[in-house]
Structure 1
């Protein structure tokens, strides 16, 4: 069971900070133990996207608020973009998680609290790993209000709403300056425990005001995991010798894939893996050249500069 606890932080350097404590109750298993791994092996390789790279989802100016500020993630023609697939020229898929199930003892388990920022009308990072029983912190770096909606998800039971609460705008960031730096400001945090149903390990967060803001998290039971980099590469070290189930997953490619792997004492296993690209229309949000959704449709003059898009 995941427990997401919203706690009060002492004068955080942000307008709002939300902390979710995560407790996960999965299939019965012994608690992870730290031990020396003198003959540990390693697992490394790449994850590629098998198929055409999906176009980014488009969100028009009419339906969603803050067209000027959130226009910094737009194509400059009236569509804010959600790039939920980042793929290198060689096909390497970013933000896929590779993890080993069944490792009950091994190297120390990092306990730092992941930080998710609402910055430039995006949640960054897009994918986060959390340890069962620990936390995720969310801060607003934007001069606009966000409405944080959290869901637990599973393929079998679908999504269930966990919470819905506003994330107050950052008053230290000047709203009219598209080139403004993102400054933290002291603020309050909300407190309230939220539980995930047994067997669910993924957490999905979206802004209720800006649907193009998404972030995903997966809870893990041991430190033998990795997120792929911009080239799709990953590496896991100090693995106790043995046979484990390797799980490869990306939130937008379906259920993912599993494979049994054997780690030899002091050995290095190299795996080149793929995840299928989704086919057909992924959502109703699609960029199209339509004057009804362009800047002129607002009925007033507006300066939209796709700052983030130009930086990519």
Structure 2
């Protein structure tokens, strides 16, 4: 009987120590979704333009009008219902890792009627980029990584032949945003590729809305990114337009299991 009492006392002491250790454990300080077998939540929202529209401006196209058209709009802003901003990246910022999403062997960027299609796209890390030219004129695809030090070349591929198809080597292994530009006389051509290391990245639809499903419960930094809207100058030596800096807005969002959280963004032009 005495031995049983001693064992029970020892067990109570051990449980008390474990509780104290749990209480003193520091909270998570990164933005990485916790691994959870329980129900996840959903983040839903809209990116809206606040304030005045940018002044309308077009520039005449001087060459290849039979393929490219007669003129091109200069402000890079597409609006949907209620001033919703299309083609905006929305993602969880600071996530070091997380559940991966299906990785295709490659993704395709087309050059058609002197525009890149799609204009914005998300690809998982490790994906290869394929490029094709559907126009009967010369295009090139200059892939530039967007860094704090400016644009850094990662590939530059010329495609003079209609129907030509090239796979960019190596695969895209570094998370971040890649800017695509044509420097073959089509300075307005541009596109953006978001290379993602996790699945918590999405693009606003034609109404400026987005949905991010299957997010584990927690508190996160959610960020929107939209390319610069107003052209600053035409760099004729590079045959490329230079635009203002991208628009980036970050806020905090709390996700609860089985619930829907709302994160709206108001975009005001400079």
> How many residue pairs end up in the alignment?
222
After superposition, the C-alpha distances for 1:160-211 in whole angstroms (9 at most, x for unaligned) are 23333211332xxxxxxxxxxxxxx4x5636654989x8x722111111211
| Partner in structure 2 of residue 307 of structure 1 | none
- Helix, strand or coil at the partner of 1:69: helix
The answer to which of 131-140 and 209-218 deviates more is 131-140
Q: Distance in 2 between matches of 1:222 and 1:83?
A: 31
| Partner in structure 2 of residue 201 of structure 1 | 176
- Consecutive unaligned residues of structure 1, counting only runs of 5 or more, are 1-28, 171-184, 280-312
Q: What does residue range 43-58 of structure 1 map to in structure 2 within 5 Å?
A: 43-55=43-55, 58=58
Match 1:160 to one of 152, 156, 164: 152
Q: What does residue range 22-61 of structure 1 map to in structure 2 within 5 Å?
A: 37-55=37-55, 58-61=58-61
Contact 1:86 1:94 in 2 (8 A): yes
1:214 Cα offset (Å): 0.5
Q: 1:149 to 1:239 in 2, by over 3 A?
A: same
Q: Distance in 2 between matches of 1:66 and 1:109?
A: 40
| Partner in structure 2 of residue 139 of structure 1 | 132
Q: Distance in 2 between matches of 1:208 and 1:51?
A: 33
- Consecutive unaligned residues of structure 2, counting only runs of 5 or more, are 1-29, 230-245
- How large is the RMSD of aligned CA atoms in angstroms? 3.0
Q: Distance in 1 between matches of 2:48 and 2:112?
A: 28
Q: Output the TM-score relative to the length of structure 2.
A: 0.71
Q: What does residue range 213-232 of structure 1 map to in structure 2 within 5 Å?
A: 213-232=189-208
1:189 correspondence with 2:166: yes
Contact 1:39 1:240 in 2 (8 A): yes
Q: 1:214 to 1:237 in 2, by over 3 A?
A: same
Match 2:68 to one of 64, 70, 89: 70
| Partner in structure 2 of residue 244 of structure 1 | 220
Q: Output the TM-score relative to the length of structure 1.
A: 0.63
Contact 1:103 1:244 in 2 (8 A): no
1:257 correspondence with 2:249: yes
Match 2:102 to one of 87, 110, 126: 110
Q: Distance in 2 between matches of 1:85 and 1:268?
A: 28
Q: Distance in 2 between matches of 1:190 and 1:270?
A: 39
1:51 Cα offset (Å): 2.7
| Partner in structure 1 of residue 17 of structure 2 | none
1:120 correspondence with 2:113: yes
1:37 Cα offset (Å): 4.7
After superposition, the C-alpha distances for 1:105-125 in whole angstroms (9 at most, x for unaligned) are 34x512123322111110011
1:273 Cα offset (Å): 1.3
Q: Distance in 1 between matches of 2:168 and 2:263?
A: 43
Q: Distance in 2 between matches of 1:216 and 1:48?
A: 20
Contact 2:33 2:218 in 1 (8 A): no
Contact 1:47 1:233 in 2 (8 A): yes
Which structure has the greater CA radius of gyration?
Answer: 2
Contact 1:42 1:235 in 2 (8 A): yes
| Partner in structure 2 of residue 92 of structure 1 | 84
**The structure with more helix, counted as a fraction of residues:** 2
| Partner in structure 2 of residue 291 of structure 1 | none
1:87 Cα offset (Å): 0.5
More relative contact order in 1 or in 2 (CA 8 Å, sep 6+)? Answer: 1
Q: Distance in 1 between matches of 2:172 and 2:39?
A: 39
